[in-house]
A and B are shown apart, each in its own frame.
Chain A
Amino acid sequence: MDLELIESKRLHEKIYYTRHPSGLDLFVSPKKGYSSQYAVFGTKYGSIDNCFEFGGETVRVPEGIAHFLEHKLFESEDGNAFSRYAKTGANANAYTSFDRTCYLFSATSNFYESFEILLDFVQNPYFTEQTVQKEQGIIGQEIKMYEDDPGWRVFFNLLSALYHTHPVKIDIAGTAGSIAQITSDLLYKCYRAFYNLNNMVLCVAGDVDPERILKTADRLLKTPAPSKVRSIFDPEPDTIVKQRVEQKLSVSVPLFCFGFKGSPAEGAEAARAEAESSILLEILGGDASGFYRRLYDKGLINSSFGLQYFSGRSFASTVVSGESRQPELVMEEFLKEVKRLKSEGIPSEEFEMAKKAYYGRLASHFDSVDNVANGIIGSHFTGMGPFEIVEAAARVTPENVAKRLANTFSEEKAALSVINPL
């Protein structure tokens, strides 16, 4: 097992990689002089994986189970991983996203002790009916908290307007009803299917020696019987569900989120899509654009306005969000601006400026150990290498962006979500 060097001379960054015999992908980013070391252990399993083929059967599980599993994995027969981390002083956490679940910690001392805790509890599940019941109460409250969150709701309501069946629209924590159906047996089933090391990745960033990380990981990683899981998605039509969705919550100014359904991508195509879309969105509605200033000065948008290429394994959409008393008008103006840019073309200096700004932002990512580690994981789960987006960004041409402009903003595939005050 040798460590392979992946280097970006442009950014003065080095990342070491190896594929462990268990099938696990291991990355180490040595960042000299940083006080904290950051470790992430992730699996390619998220809220979208609620239907899968494993061990000869097709399984459909309740919504929110990946997130539920994440909570429960911290528990073991004799206690809780947090109590173990308490002794080493690590700052530990975990998150479940649409297409992945990650367990992480950052530490400024006792790194290897904390690293052992991480590798131990993630590889040793322990679920019982009692512990499942207790968590239903806690997660039930978490769900209620998110129901009150207007930023969360405006976005998920948009997803339900854009997607007929694709599980990206499911709330990551599920619903009170769906989590009531979770049992310890189901948790074990999901764990066995998705938490096989060949479906997982381990990443460390900080002032560490890559060889020592590799040796330690090798000692602590089990060698499971190889297995394969395949997520199944019901066919998602190209069309959207509805053009408008509205909800009332206790907010002062309305929030809005409009989006254009797109086609998912993986690997090199995903890197290109990410880079080209980001540069395009900067040109269209970034804070140096004429569009931004025009609407800003009219009081139609404020500094919360943002544009994002929202993508992951099996889904991609372009989303524009912010606060406004006239969300329909903002969307209308945006579509006009798209039309204008299509017919007049993108001025080359605007393209150069956006490209430079994007490159600068990407380079800055590497300043933080947690951005580096999470970035590596995110790229990897979409089939991309750690520097692939930066390289794709450097290669983007005006023609690429013009083509993306032509293909992204179809009105038939667009929906608007609004949260209005009560």
Chain B
Amino acid sequence: MTGGFLTELERKTLSENINFTAIRDGRFKNNQISVNFLMPLKKETAALHALIPLVLKRGCRPYPNMTLLNRRLKELYGARLDGGVGKRGEMQVISLYCAALDDTYALEGETLLRECAGLLKSVLFDPIVTDGALSAEDVEVEKKNLADLIESQLNDKRHYASLKAKEAMCAGEAYGVSEYGTAAQALAITPAALYEAYQTMLKTAGVEIILVGPADKTECESLFAEAFAAVSRGKLLRCVTDVIREPGPVRTVEERLAVNQAKLVMGFRAGTAAPESEADTMQLASAILGGTPHSKLFENVREKLGLCYYCFSYFERIKGLVFVEAGIEEQNYQKAKDEILNQLELLKKGEFSDDELSSAKLSLENSYRELNDTLYDISSWYLSQAVTSQIRTPDQTARALAEIDRGQIAPTAAKIKLDTVYLLAGERKD
């Protein structure tokens, strides 16, 4: 059963590189509107861009501090206004969004969407500016928070290992840059520099505005069309992800911290990336390898050989990379690595059962179709699609995967080449 009959999608170009996508869906009690700015990910500007949404969401001229703004949101039935930064391929995406109960559920006939879209617009276009700079107090507090956020990536060891592996693997590439920048860069940001970066963003970034929920889009669309029309757009940025297909000699990196469970991360160049048609096949190949509890990695590295607690693989489809991650005992490192590479070899030779193939397909189809069911997933999906300029619904993607022939998989998997091996393990007690 799909959500088809309750959902309508409309995508409109408001002006060059500014798109408004509306997905009208009567199943939800909430509406969510997000405004996303696409900028190239670069070492020099990453921290600056990461700080923009953190400062903007603290307030705006009508509600000049976080308490006043948050109080207004509470009055609007606990509406949420938040924002942050993400990485999609070699693009840095700066997002601000507002989610609120639909007007239907307001107890006193309040026009919640209009109010919330208005707040989002103010936060984006009407921040508090003094002497050509954003609020010095806000910038001071938030840049420290950003620096802390960057350092606290240490806390979740699995996440940390994944980040460090990517950093090492893509050291000279934009992808190796953190979407938050570095703590040192964050602390060095001035209110004037931030204001300038914010204006550059408004004037030159690609913009994707996405509305999901039961409400009619007309008012929202005009509100943002008008707001952007007032911005004199400059030379528009092109965001391109450099897909490197061939690795150099295999890099091995080892790091030691006080951990109980070691983490192994292996990075591979996939040799294909979205929107190439082979990217779908690579997605399926990766799922057969290690994307489900019936995958080759789970069944062999974990269940049969007992070498790890978790072992999975995934395809970074925009940059064209495949990763395998495993939580292991350090003493099993060599065995685990060997078995992972063994399972990959078998995949490349086409040695996987019909069951392994059908369960991977079913699992992927299921996870795509499930995306239809939450506002956040729908919004996130269409942002990802817009970023590779290939707009498909989750159902269309599920269907495309279902149609992949067994014979296509091995030749595609053959392109997967090992690039980097990273191990995070406990401190040696000498």
Taking beta carbons and an 8 Å cutoff, which residues of A are in contact with B?
Answer: 11-12, 31-37, 82-83, 86-92, 106-109, 134, 137-138, 141-142, 144-145, 147-151, 207, 249-253, 255, 282, 286-290, 292-293, 296-297, 299, 302-303, 323, 353-354, 356-361, 363-364, 366-369, 422
Contacts and interface: CB of A to CB of B under 8 A. Distances in A.
B369 A290 contact: no
Contacts of A107: 366
14 contacts: A11-B105, A33-B7, A37-B1, A86-B363, A87-B355, A138-B302, A141-B261, A148-B261, A250-B157, A286-B70, A288-B70, A353-B74, A357-B74, A360-B101
- 9 closest Cβ pairs, A-B complex: A89-B362, A360-B77, A357-B78, A360-B78, A86-B359, A108-B369, A288-B70, A252-B151, A141-B309
Contacts of A106: 366, 370
A158 B145 CA distance: 25
Contacts of A356: 74-75, 77-78
B355 A86 contact: yes
A420 to B, nearest CB: 12
A255 B155 CA distance: 10
A34 B79 CA distance: 23
Contacts of B3: 33-35
Interface string B289-307: 0001110000000100010
Given A109-B366, A141-B327, A299-B144, A288 B73 contact: yes
A90 B363 CA distance: 7
A359 B67 contact: no
B29 interface: yes
B252 to A, nearest CB: 22
Q: Which of B75, B155, B370 has the most CB of A within 10 A?
A: B155
B257 to A, nearest CB: 5
Interface stretch (B169-177, B192-200, B203-211, B371-379): B371-379
A82 B294 contact: yes
A251 B155 contact: yes
A301 to B, nearest CB: 10
A395 to B, nearest CB: 14
B66 A293 contact: yes
A137 B73 contact: no
B145 A353 contact: no
Given A89-B359, A353-B71, 6 more contacts: A12-B104, A86-B294, A87-B362, A88-B362, A106-B366, A356-B74
Contact of A83 (B6, B29, B151, B294): B294
B430 interface: no
B2 interface: yes
B258 A422 contact: yes
Contacts of A142: 309
Contacts of B302: 138
A233 to B, nearest CB: 31
Q: Which of B76, B144, B154, B362 has the most CB of A within 10 A?
A: B362
Contacts of B66: 287, 293, 296
B70 A287 contact: yes
Nearest to B25: A33
Contacts of A255: 155
B365 interface: yes
For chain B, give the interface size range. Answer: 35 or more
Given A32-B27, A288-B70, A356-B77, A302 B105 contact: no
Contacts of A138: 302, 306, 309
Contact of B373 (A35, A292, A293): A35
B293 A82 contact: yes
Interface in B249-290: 257-261
Contacts of A252: 148, 151-152, 154-155
Q: Which of A86, A290, A358 has the most CB of B within 10 A?
A: A86
B410 to A, nearest CB: 21
A323 B152 contact: yes
A83 B363 CA distance: 12
B375 A367 contact: yes
B327 A366 contact: no
Interface in B1-51: 1-3, 5-7, 26-30
B308 to A, nearest CB: 7
Given A145-B309, A287-B66, A288-B70, A33 B6 contact: yes
B212 to A, nearest CB: 11
Contacts of B396: none
B405 interface: no
Q: Which of B141, B308, B309, B329 has the most CB of A within 10 A?
A: B309
Contact of A148 (B28, B145, B259): B259
Interface in B351-371: 355, 358-359, 361-363, 365-367, 369-370
A108 B370 CA distance: 7
Interface string B139-150: 001001100110
A82 B306 CA distance: 17
Contacts of A357: 73-74, 77-78
A249 B258 contact: yes
B389 interface: no
A333 to B, nearest CB: 16
Contacts of B131: none
A354 B73 CA distance: 10
A363 B261 contact: no
A218 B144 CA distance: 59
A253 B2 contact: no
A149 B155 CA distance: 7
A137 B79 contact: no
A359 B77 contact: yes
A106 B292 CA distance: 14
Contacts of A358: 78
Given A250-B258, A288-B74, A357-B78, A90 B148 contact: no
A138 B154 CA distance: 25
B363 A33 contact: no
Interface in B90-118: 100-101, 104-105, 107
A31 B359 contact: no
Q: Which of B5, B151, B261 has the most CB of A within 10 A?
A: B261
Contacts of B152: 251-253, 323
B57 to A, nearest CB: 10
Nearest to B6: A33
Contacts of A82: 293-294
Contacts of B363: 86, 89, 91
B137 interface: yes
A259 to B, nearest CB: 21
Contacts of B222: none
Contacts of A32: 6, 27
A65 B149 CA distance: 37
Nearest to B364: A89
A148 B74 CA distance: 36
A35 B370 contact: yes
B130 interface: no
Given A252-B154, A287-B70, A302-B148, A359 B367 contact: no
A422 B361 CA distance: 45
A82 B299 CA distance: 11
A295 to B, nearest CB: 11
A86 B292 contact: yes
Contact of B369 (A12, A36, A86): A36
A34 B371 CA distance: 10
Nearest to B156: A149
Interface string B313-326: 00000000000000
A90 B257 CA distance: 38
Nearest to B372: A35
